[in-house]
Structure 1
Amino acid sequence: MKQKVTAVFDIGKTNKKFFLFDKDFKEVHKEYIAFDEVVDEDGHPTENLQALHKWLKDVFNRILEAKEFAVKAINFSTYGASLVHIDENGNPVTPLYNYTKTLDKKIIDSFFKEYGPKEKFLKTTGCADLSMLNSGLQLYWIKKSKPEVYSKIKYSLHLPQYLSYIFTGIPISEYTSIGCHTALWDYRKKDYHTWVYNEGIDKILPPIVSTETSINMNYNGNRIKIGVGIHDSSAALLPYVRSIKKKFVLISTGTWSIAFNPFTKKPISKDMNDKDAINYMRINGKPVKASRIFLGNEYKIQVDKLNKLFNVDKDYHRTVNFDYDTYFEIIQDFNYCFKWDSIEDKDMPEQTHISYHKFEHAYHQLMIELVLLQIKCIKKAIGEDEIMRLYVDGGFSDNDVYIKLLSHYFRDKKLRTTSASLGSALGAAISISDTKLNSKFLKRNYALKKHVPFIISG
């Protein structure tokens, strides 16, 4: 008898992954591929949409014919800030423009002349900066600089919804993709921003549905529930929201460390100049207050420097565990030592100065300074909300020094770590499932661990 499974395509910038999950959300099959990028008309690297389209269809058709699996549902999780513009026949009319592409300054200036002031606009729309990363402005750019291309667009679909469209032929929009710093949404009005209507761009944005929506279809002779897709950050947050009853902040660590507060009463940051205060949306359209810091990137840069300074192996830092005596020695007469390369901070010195003779001491100093930055980031996400629980996943969740310091500085809160390599894929599967999750879900599927603050000896 065939095993009933939910299929998920989890599309990252580098790796494209395909998963099958059983009824308990355990992974039973996985495969992945990476494509060489192509270039757009300006020579800027971008996603090979044609190769991606072909791979999706080939993989799914092959799995449908497999003797061991019966696919009952499929969903899609992808990176955000990316739109596919299709004509009336469903064919893309432009490349999938990369969010790293630079927007013409004249376009930005004309936009703010019309819809500014800039700081107020950015905060109203939950955006941190102004570039192609705000995918809504890509539509403004196409309309103003490529009117002949714009006239061919029947619908503009966020990438997760385009993948769903490939299988259903039904164009739709959903909240998590609209809510990820697109500059399209006004968080105060809970509707598209006025500029979207003024420019007539709402006419090419398909109807909005809940992210939990699925379409029951006969696909190649199989009765399958097809999801509408979900933005990857929101997908990674979903298993926590569904299984934890009390309020919490999730700190998702990696190159960027992002603190998500899905229970915010005040999603808009008061600081109009804070570029790292951003907003996302939950699957039901409720706001998520977020604050980010380039923590993993800075960590990598500084550890590389320490490796050279102390002449140690590049992986040596992974062996360093928290040492209370070292911490106590540093904190007794604490000074900031590191000048950051990719983070701006008022406390950092003009120049890095390391006076330690051992790598372990310098590493503890580095982690203390990085954790102090992380604390500011988490406090911004918490804001005025009463949050007593913190969950940490991603790259730093198994860094002993980071976790011990974080639990120490937040000793009034309950700190948990999870190991969630399937994060966004699992979230995509859960979003179209009717299964109710309970508090044991994270323990069973995410290797949930509790952490107690260390005791300060008198």
Structure 2
Amino acid sequence: MTPVIAIFDIGKTNKKLFLFNERYEIVWQKSEQFEESTDDDGYPCEDLSKLSQWISTSLDQVLALPDFTIRALNFSTYGASLVYLGEANQPVGYLYNYLKPFPDSVRTQFYQQYGTEATMCLQTASPALDSLNSGLMLYRIKHDKPQLFSQIRYALHLPQYVSFLITGQVASDVTSIGCHTMLWDFSKNQYHSWVSSEGLDRLLGPLSTSDSVQDISWQDHLLKVGVGLHDSSAALIPYLASFREPFVLISTGTWCISLNPFNESPLTVEELQYDCLCFLHYKGKPVKASRLFAGYEHEQQVKRLAEHFQTDLNYYQTVAFDPDIIQQLRNHRAGGDFHEVKAPPLQESLFRHRNLADFNTYEEAYHQLILDIIAQQLISTNLVLANSMNGQSAVKRIFVDGGFSKNPIYMNLLAAAFPELEVFAASVAQATALGAALAIHRHWNAHSIPSDCIALQYYAPSQQMVL
């Protein structure tokens, strides 16, 4: 029987269960999607009852598999979402959606009571995101839904709730508490004073680091069970486990998020303007992050290109990197320079304002689109790259994962934008689930972490193309 660790990876759309062997290879998996339910205001939300039932029955299923011995169990889930438990430790209320509209009156009351939006954002390293700040959601329930609030004994972030389903232990995890929640005072490394003033700290459960486990028995099987992780933090763990030299990870998807786990300098007002935040990684240390809406902009602009040039929507995937086009754009067309972006917000697309009739070919226009994205990516990544305490950066490598890591034009231009650093496209199978497994590696796996968890492709800066 193969020794394995089971990982529940709960996304808003896909709910997955993986078994990893001791080399962190996936040896079994299943995936399901659930229809959303609605909350007491009629807004879409997770069907918590269905999710809870799926987790317990799925665990029973894999424990009965004849080919595997499950030694440990952990969880990664989407963040910014709280589950509320009543006196009998049963869920009360709803797992409210973090996109749920936030009442203007409650928002105004909060900032009038505890400080300006700018001050609170700076102290908690959290952009003002309303319901996406889970601390504000709990504040809202206290003041907007007092009858529900009176029933709440504990408020658990979703990763800790799914762990609680198995362990029966109430806990708060630093990766959830410390990620744009407005709960954590990064300068004091403790809950912000407003949390205790509102009496919310007593609802949140004891703080735990994400590399801790509980020994429990489930259906007569002894398991070491982790406390669960916020998925953004979990995805960083394979890199922290694999590389000792300081690095920046650019995680690309709808958002391009630059993560520097080696920059502990306090967040500045300017960085907040550029959509920076800090969160706590699985060992409780701060990670500085900057966000760029580049994946979304790319998606919108390739639709525009396809319509203008009468091509297939995915035609951009056939466009090879051509340094001659880049040089031509920079020599003969205004706006090809990397340093034209001066002021926030970085979410404003440069390419959106370009006249497509100025371009002779789709290839030329698409190279300009990526040039414009990299112009903003340079600023966004530089915000977390340097340690502002001394103006220097120990980082020597940039890793890119997600969609843009497979884009040769993006990768070559990124290498040209950071010629002093080594730039790699990185590929990790199921990085979030793998991170949750690696977080508790020492508790279940006597072997060393394999060196080949992450596949890397190096991109050298072109000698003839200095940007």
What TM-score, normalized by structure 1, do the two folds share? 0.95
Residue type matched to 1:166 in 2? L
Alignment partner, residue 252 of structure 2: 253
The reply to whether residue 60 of structure 1 matches residue 59 of structure 2 is yes
Percent identical: 39
Q: 1:4 to 1:349 in 2, by over 3 A?
A: closer
Q: Match for residue 171 of structure 2?
A: 172
Look up the SS of the partner of 1:445 in the other structure: coil
Aligned partners of 1:306 and 1:437: how far apart in 2? 50
- Which residue of structure 1 aligns with residue 41 of structure 2? 42
1:273-313 per-position Cα deviation (integer Å, ceiling 9, x unaligned) = 51511111111211110000111100000001001100111
Residue number among 364, 369, 374 corresponding to 2:367 in the alignment:
364
Tell me the CA shift for residue 188 of structure 1. Answer: 0.2
The one-letter code sitting in structure 1 at the alignment partner of 2:302 is V
Q: Is the 8 A contact 1:128 1:276 kept in 2?
A: yes
Task: Name the CA distance, whole Å, in 2 between partners of 1:457 and 1:30.
Answer: 45
1:27 to partner: Cα distance = 0.6
Instruction: For 1:130-145, list aligned pairs within 5 A.
Output: 130-145=129-144
Q: CA deviation at 1:401?
A: 0.2
Q: Residue deviations 1:325-374, cap 9 Å, x none?
A: 1111111134238xx9x975679488431211211000001000011111
1:199-210 → structure 2 map (5 Å cutoff): 199-210=198-209
Q: 1:109 to 1:3 in 2, by over 3 A?
A: same
Answering whether residue 382 of structure 2 is matched by residue 383 of structure 1, we say no
Q: Does structure 2 conserve the Cα–Cα contact (< 8 Å) formed by 1:294 and 1:343?
A: no
Cα distance in 1, alignment partners of residues 315 and 135 from structure 2:
44
Q: Deviations over 1:7-45 (max 9, x none)?
A: 000011111111000001011111100101111111110
Pick aligned residue for 1:415 from 423, 434, 438: 423
Q: Distance in 2 between matches of 1:422 and 1:405?
A: 27
When residues 178 and 396 of structure 1 are mapped into structure 2, their CA distance, relative to the original with a 3 A threshold, is same
CA distance in 2, matches of 1:241, 1:452: 23
Return the alpha-carbon distance in structure 2 between the equivalents of residues 433 and 346 of structure 1: 42
CA distance in 2, matches of 1:302, 1:55: 39
Q: CA deviation at 1:69?
A: 1.1
- For residue 418 of structure 1, give the secondary structure of its aligned residue in structure 2: strand
**1:252-275 deviation per Cα after TM superposition (whole angstroms, max 9, x unaligned):** 000001000101131313427515
Alignment match, 2:153? 154
Distance (whole Å) between structure 1 residues aligned to residue 381 and residue 439 of structure 2:
26
Residue 438 of structure 2, aligned match among 418, 425, 430 = 430
Moved more, 447-456 or 394-403: 447-456
Q: How is 1:255-334 mapped onto 2 (pairs within 5 angstroms)?
A: 255-271=254-270, 274=273, 276-334=275-333
- 1:406 paired with 2:414, answer yes
1:181-234 deviations in Å (ceiling 9; x for gaps): 000000000000000011111111100011111001111101111110001110
Which residue is equivalent to 1:33? 32
Q: What SS does the corresponding residue of 2:427 show, helix, strand or coil?
A: coil
Matched, 1:94 2:93: yes
| Residue aligning to 2:10 | 11
- The answer for the alignment partner of 1:71 in structure 2 is 70
Measured after TM superposition, the shift of residue 243 of structure 1 is 1.6
Q: Is the 8 A contact 2:327 2:465 kept in 1?
A: no
Judge which range, 58-67 or 274-283, deviates more: 274-283
Corresponding residue SS for 2:91: coil
Write the distance in 1 (CA, Å) between the matches of 2:352 and 2:3.
Answer: 60
The whole-number CA distance in structure 1 between the counterparts of 2:76 and 2:115 is: 33
Asked whether the equivalents of residues 301 and 352 of structure 2 are also in contact (C-alpha less than 8 Å), the reply is: no
Which residue pairs with 1:227 in the alignment? 226
Q: Distance in 1 between matches of 2:273 and 2:386?
A: 14
Partners of 2:363 and 2:16 in 1: how far apart? 37
Equivalent position to 2:376, from 365, 373, 391: 373
Take 1:133 and 1:437, find their aligned partners in 2: how far apart are those partners?
39
CA distance in 2 between partners of 1:350 and 1:392 (Å):
24
Counterpart in the other structure of 2:80: 81
What's the TM-score once normalised by structure 2's chain length?
0.93
CA 1:223–1:457 in 2, change beyond 3 Å: closer, same or farther? Answer: closer
Q: Which moved more, 1:399-408 or 1:261-270?
A: 261-270
Superposed CA offset, 1:54-80 (max 9, x none): 111111101111111111001000111
Runs of 4+ with deviation above 3 angstroms: 342-351, 435-440
Q: Report the Cα distance in structure 2 between the residues aligned to 1:345 and 1:66, rounded to whole angstroms.
A: 48
Q: Secondary structure at the match of 1:132?
A: helix
Which ranges in structure 2 are unaligned for 5 or more consecutive residues? Answer: none
- Residue 352 of structure 1 aligns to which amino acid in structure 2? R
Match of 2:31, SS state, is strand
CA distance in 2, matches of 1:357, 1:457: 22
How many pairs were matched up? 453
Secondary structure of residue in 2 paired with 1:76: strand
> What is aligned with 2:354?
352
Q: CA RMSD in A?
A: 2.1
- Kept after mapping to 2: 8 A contact 1:298/1:343: no
* Structure 1 gap ranges (5+): none
Distance in 2, matches of 1:440 and 1:220, equals 31
Q: After superposition, what is the alpha-carbon deviation per residue over 1:129-163, rounded to whole angstroms, capped at 9, x for unaligned? A: 23100000111111111112111111000000000
Q: Using the alignment, how far apart are the partners of 1:215 and 1:457 within structure 2?
A: 54
* Change beyond 3 A, Cα 1:211–1:457: closer
Q: Are the aligned partners of 1:267 and 1:288 in contact in 2 as well (CA < 8 Å)?
A: no
Contact 1:243 1:437 in 2 (8 A): no
1:380-422 Cα deviation digits (max 9, x unpaired): 1113341221111011101000000000110100111211241
> Quick check: 2:211–2:282 contact (8 Å CA) kept in 1?
yes
Amino acid at match of 1:370: I
